[in-house]
Amino acid sequence: MSLSVAGVEDNEVIVRKMLRDVLGGREDPEGFFAMCVSVLGHQETRSQFLYLIHPLSTAHSSLHSILTSIYKDYFTTLQAEDDEVELAMALSLLEMKDHQLSTPSQESRLMQLEDKTNQSCSFLLNSDSHPQEGSHTLLPEVVKRRQNTHSAPISPWGNGPAPTTHVDIYNQETVIEREQMMMERDLTQSEKPKHMKNRRQRRKPAGQHIVGLPFSLSTPPPVLLWFRRDLRLCDNPALNASLEVGAPVIPVFIWSSKEEEGPGTTVAMGGASKYWLHQALSCLCASLERISSHLVFLKANGEGSRVGSSLNTLKKLIKDTGARTVLANALYEPWLKERDDAVVSALQEDGIECRMYHSYCLRDPYSVSTEGVGLRGIGSVSHFMSCCRQNPGSALGVTLDPPVSLPTPAHWPQGVSLDTLGLARMPRRKDGTTINWAANIHKSWDFSEEGAHVWLKAFLEDGVYRYDKESCRADAPHTSCLSPYLHFGQLSPRWLLWAAKGARGQSPKFQRKLYWRDLAYWQLTLFPDLPWESVRPPYKALRWSSSRDHLKAWQQGRTGYPLVDAAMRQLWMTGWMNNYMRHVVASFLIAYLHLPWQEGYCWFQDTLVDADVAIDAMMWQNGGMCGLDHWNFVMHPVDAAMTCDPYGNYVRKWCPELAELPDELIHKPWKCPTSMLRRAGVAFGQTYPQRIITDLEERRSQSLQDVARVRKEFEQFVDKHTGCDLVPLPPRLVTEALGLSQRYSGVASEGKRFLLPLITRMEFKYQQENPHADAALNPYNALLKGYVSRKRDETIAFLNERDFTASVMYEAVQRKERLECDQRRMEGLPLSPAPQGRARRTTTAKDKFSIVPGGAGTSLR
């Protein structure tokens, strides 16, 4: 004669489903409450309701308080009736049956409940699905209760579960208990009814189950909340979903370097990003501890099997904790998705519920379709945005608040320390001292989720106003600097987009950047070998330089081109540089040093704190001329400074050895007059490197000719009519294209392959027709000169001319003085006194271009 756990769980499931309807706006709170009363009954609603709605108290606090007040109103009104019921329950169920339940339906319900309670007992006896401590220690009591079902009350709590029964399972019970006590206090105002006092007195001490209770008093098995690249509390769908399960939550981070890396050369986790990850995990752990939770670190076991290792770790964890649910936010790198799919299906086979939530991008890249848009312009952000508009998929949704507390398990599983993961390892010198290569990175960033919000606020209050026009400036922080936070999920793109849309100063260009990010993930899902294999086939055969010296000079910021060097040094010191500078250094590596784009990609992956396989690979492919949307421009390593560092302050900061050069010459110190170099303390090859290449035009010409050669060699990948590069379509797009075959004619078939014409640089087409033409004579020359200032060129010419004239005049005067002196000596005449009144020019604010000793270097700034 008792209730079954299974039956009670059925009720709970029904109520939770209804709760989801309320959350989804399909049911109003009053309706939900009424349904609860009808499903659970009066008593169970009274004792269970607060417990059931408790998960809402964090993420949906307003709904929680509405429901609480409905509950209060209802039970205050019905308190008199309740007292009677409670009293009856305190006496005995049979008495209550006689006293309260007189209708046939109520009787049958009671019978049902009794049957279920019997099942409940056997469940507790036989099942090991609640392995938490306590279940088995209660067996004698269960048996006793089964024996005494007719004479003893099922529960001192009436039909509902006692909040205290959760005490031994997770600490949330203290909250529930407190709420219950407060409710009781509210209800009784001054004095509690006797039966309630009795009820409290009859409570089991913490740590013990009360079994045989009509509603589920068994511990809900914990939920594993698997953190990956979603290291945040704000707007975290998996985290919020874990709360809605209404069970203890065990946040866990599993490190598996093998799985992260995937196939091919991805360098998914380079040194700088691993360092960031270490710091971000430490911050997340602190944030979780603030909401009375904890982050369990684990190192994946079974490292030998690529797909199995996180899975093995999870399986072991599930066994240790008795968890029945695993929740995570999805990742979209193809190899990680493959791993996740394997994990989900393996766990589901074991009867574990495993759910992945979408939040890493604005759009799930696997759901983006070209249907209705076609393939023309593919690779560009405009095309991608059209696809998203045409096939909107699920709504972006609103952001989720962070929880204020997380229900914790009675026992935390054994994890390892964060340091054991080996993410921030520092090499040691022979003398045992540590080489802290990340000291500057550490100084440059706040690695926490709060840090992300501080940056965001600062950007939206200030930088966003200049973003549209001046985001290219390297010498001022006009971009958001949020990329590492986005990469590690310390900020969700949805949060950022809503914040940007809501900001006073709106920047469409900035909002578009988030679609660039999504575009990169979409491309990676279409071309999983994006990080190492050129998308445009002919370019795989390009002749690249193999100069290790040039590569080293580029990596270390010693190319002799100040703008490039400043950017590469900033990258090394801080793990970051802005988008414009990434273009400059990429152009220099590819178009001038002729080094393969993969080298640049790998170096970026290793040194950027925001290293992101999808974005980095897409950008390097585009810079390397072989991406879907290859750049239609080449950045000039000197002239680009006109746009991004017009006063040379950026170079001054990262190349301090050039700091004394004037603005006009700081980006081309080799053009400086000798005297100026002397004054600025610049000695090539000593204080600052010589240029590693000097004839930029010749290098560019060579690059163009190389492209023309491979396009000729693989002419099956060049459209004969338009001269555009052709790219084999990935299978997913073939399917879509076939569906669109009537409307899309650009997809040509070559055997079984489908080839898609891509937008191709005009200068390549011209060069192919004129293979030996000089780059400078190419009418479609893609060289982007920045804001070329003729005035600046004239100034430099003027300075050099002045420098030459002045030094010639100075030498002539000195020679004349020497001759006069020698003549006087020969004639035995006294030497003339030191020359008086000789024009000795000194720098003045007006005399900007003085080049005599003590000249105008600094006044030019």
Q: Which stretch binds ligand FAD (CB under 6 A): 234-242, 277-285, 579-587, 661-669?
A: 579-587
Measured CA to CA in angstroms, residue 152 lies from 116, 145, 156 at distances of: 17, 8, 9
Residues 606-635 that bind ligand FAD (CB under 6 A): 608, 610-612, 615-616, 619-620, 623
Nearest to 471 by CA among 480, 462, 482, 460: 480
What is the spatial distance between Cα 113 and Cα 750, in angstroms, rounded to a whole number?
A: 70
Q: Which of 210, 615 has the CB closer to ligand FAD?
A: 615
Instruction: Select from 208, 511, 579, 705 the one that contacts ligand FAD (CB under 6 A).
Output: 579
471 in a labelled binding site: no
Q: Is residue 640 at the binding interface for ligand FAD, with CB under 6 A as the rule?
A: no
Residues 508-547 that bind ligand FAD (CB under 6 A): 513-514, 516-517, 520
What is the spatial distance between Cα 849 and Cα 664, in angstroms, rounded to a whole number?
A: 11
What is the spatial distance between Cα 242 and Cα 238, in angstroms, rounded to a whole number?
A: 6
Q: Is residue 583 at the binding interface for ligand FAD, with CB under 6 A as the rule?
A: yes
Q: Which stretch binds ligand FAD (CB under 6 A): 109-117, 477-485, 650-658, 700-708?
A: 477-485
State in angstroms the smallest separation of the CB of 500 from ligand FAD.
9
Q: Which of 249, 336 has the CB closer to ligand FAD?
A: 336
Q: Which stretch binds ligand FAD (CB under 6 A): 480-488, 640-648, 670-678, 721-729?
A: 480-488
What is the spatial distance between Cα 743 and Cα 737, in angstroms, rounded to a whole number?
A: 9
Q: Which of 245, 577 has the CB closer to ligand FAD?
A: 577
Give the count of alpha carbons within 13 A of 91, CB side only.
Answer: 12
Q: For residue 60, give every residue at least 6 positions away whose Cβ sits within 8 Å of its Cβ, in sequence order, or none.
A: 23, 401
State in angstroms the smallest separation of the CB of 486 from ligand FAD.
4
Q: Is residue 145 at the binding interface for ligand FAD, with CB under 6 A as the rule?
A: no
Q: Is residue 480 at the binding interface for ligand FAD, with CB under 6 A as the rule?
A: yes
Helix (H) / strand (E) element for 327: namely strand 325-329
Tell me whether strands 748-750 and 753-757 are parallel, antiparallel or unpaired: antiparallel
Q: For residue 43, give every residue at least 6 positions away whose Cβ sits within 8 Å of its Cβ, in sequence order, or none.
A: 85, 89, 158, 159, 160
CB atoms within 10 A of CB 499: 17
Q: Is residue 589 at the binding interface for ligand FAD, with CB under 6 A as the rule?
A: no
State in angstroms the smallest separation of the CB of 524 from ligand FAD.
11
Q: Which of 479, 850 has the CB closer to ligand FAD?
A: 479
722 in a labelled binding site: no
Q: Which of 486, 783 has the CB closer to ligand FAD?
A: 486
Nearest to 112 by CA among 120, 100, 124, 102: 120
Q: Which of 217, 519 has the CB closer to ligand FAD?
A: 519
340 in a labelled binding site: no
Q: Is residue 172 at the binding interface for ligand FAD, with CB under 6 A as the rule?
A: no
Q: Give the contact letters, 81-100, x = binds to ligand FAD (CB under 6 A), - = no.
A: --------------------
787 in a labelled binding site: no
611 in a labelled binding site: yes
Q: Is residue 152 at the binding interface for ligand FAD, with CB under 6 A as the rule?
A: no
Instruction: Select from 217, 317, 318, 486 the one that contacts ligand FAD (CB under 6 A).
Output: 486
Q: Which stretch binds ligand FAD (CB under 6 A): 102-110, 118-126, 483-491, 836-844?
A: 483-491
State in angstroms the smallest separation of the CB of 612 from ligand FAD.
4
What is the spatial distance between Cα 405 and Cα 54, in angstroms, rounded to a whole number?
A: 11
Q: Which of 245, 635 has the CB closer to ligand FAD?
A: 635
Q: Which of 293, 483 has the CB closer to ligand FAD?
A: 483
State in angstroms the smallest separation of the CB of 611 from ligand FAD.
5
Q: Which of 306, 473 has the CB closer to ligand FAD?
A: 473
Q: For residue 58, give every residue at least 6 positions away whose Cβ sits within 8 Å of its Cβ, in sequence order, or none.
A: 243, 401, 402, 403, 404, 405, 406
> Which amino acid does the sequence have at 164?
T
Nearest to 89 by CA among 77, 100, 102, 74: 100
Q: Which of 569, 583 has the CB closer to ligand FAD?
A: 583
Using CB under 6 A as the binding criterion, the count of chain residues that bind ligand FAD stands at 28
Q: Which of 27, 261 has the CB closer to ligand FAD?
A: 261
State in angstroms the smallest separation of the CB of 109 from ligand FAD.
57
> Which amino acid does the sequence have at 816?
K
Give yes or no for a contact between 589 and 600, defined as CB atoms under 8 angstroms apart.
Answer: yes
What is the spatial distance between Cα 265 and Cα 601, in angstroms, rounded to a whole number?
A: 10
Which residue's structure tokens are 């509210």? 186
610 in a labelled binding site: yes
Q: Which stretch binds ligand FAD (CB under 6 A): 444-452, 555-563, 574-582, 694-702?
A: 574-582
State in angstroms the smallest separation of the CB of 619 from ligand FAD.
3
Q: Is residue 578 at the binding interface for ligand FAD, with CB under 6 A as the rule?
A: yes
Q: Which stretch binds ligand FAD (CB under 6 A): 311-319, 329-337, 581-589, 733-741?
A: 581-589
Nearest to 488 by CA among 448, 539, 545: 448
Q: Is residue 487 at the binding interface for ligand FAD, with CB under 6 A as the rule?
A: yes
Q: Is residue 479 at the binding interface for ligand FAD, with CB under 6 A as the rule?
A: yes
**What is the sign, positive or negative, of the torsion defined by CA atoms of 640, 643, 647, 652?**
negative
Q: Which residues partner with 728 through β-bridges? A: 755
What is the spatial distance between Cα 366 and Cα 380, in angstroms, rounded to a whole number?
A: 18
Nearest to 760 by CA among 642, 622, 859: 622
Q: Is residue 483 at the binding interface for ligand FAD, with CB under 6 A as the rule?
A: yes
State in angstroms the smallest separation of the CB of 135 from ligand FAD.
48
Which residue's structure tokens are 């006044």? 859
Which one-letter DSSP state was computed for residue 419? Answer: G
Q: Which stretch binds ligand FAD (CB under 6 A): 45-53, 481-489, 679-687, 845-853?
A: 481-489
Q: Is residue 204 at the binding interface for ligand FAD, with CB under 6 A as the rule?
A: no
Gyration radius (Cα) of the chain, Å = 36
State in angstroms the smallest separation of the CB of 742 from ligand FAD.
33
Helices (H), 427-475: 439-444, 449-458, 464-470
Measured CA to CA in angstroms, residue 11 lies from 21, 230, 326, 798, 806 at distances of: 15, 33, 22, 88, 96
Q: Which of 515, 766 has the CB closer to ligand FAD?
A: 515
In order, the DSSP letters of 664-691 are TTTT-GGGS-HHHHHHHT--BTTTBPPP
Q: Which of 262, 407 has the CB closer to ligand FAD?
A: 262
State in angstroms the smallest separation of the CB of 510 from ligand FAD.
6
382 in a labelled binding site: no
Q: Is residue 598 at the binding interface for ligand FAD, with CB under 6 A as the rule?
A: no
Q: Is residue 267 at the binding interface for ligand FAD, with CB under 6 A as the rule?
A: no
Nearest to 665 by CA among 558, 554, 799, 785: 799
Q: Which residues partner with 756 through β-bridges? A: 727
Nearest to 406 by CA among 180, 177, 219, 233: 233
Q: Which stretch binds ligand FAD (CB under 6 A): 226-234, 241-249, 577-585, 655-663?
A: 577-585
843 in a labelled binding site: no
Instruction: Please tell me the total number of residues recorded for the chain in this structure.
Output: 861
Q: Is residue 481 at the binding interface for ligand FAD, with CB under 6 A as the rule?
A: yes
149 in a labelled binding site: no
206 in a labelled binding site: no
Alpha-carbon dihedral of residues 192, 196, 202, 205, nearest 10 degrees?
-70
Annotated binding site: 467, 479-483, 510, 610-612
Interface with ligand FAD (CB under 6 A): 471, 479-483, 486-487, 513-514, 516-517, 520, 578-579, 582-583, 586, 604, 608, 610-612, 615-616, 619-620, 623
Annotated binding site for FAD: 467, 479-483, 510, 610-612
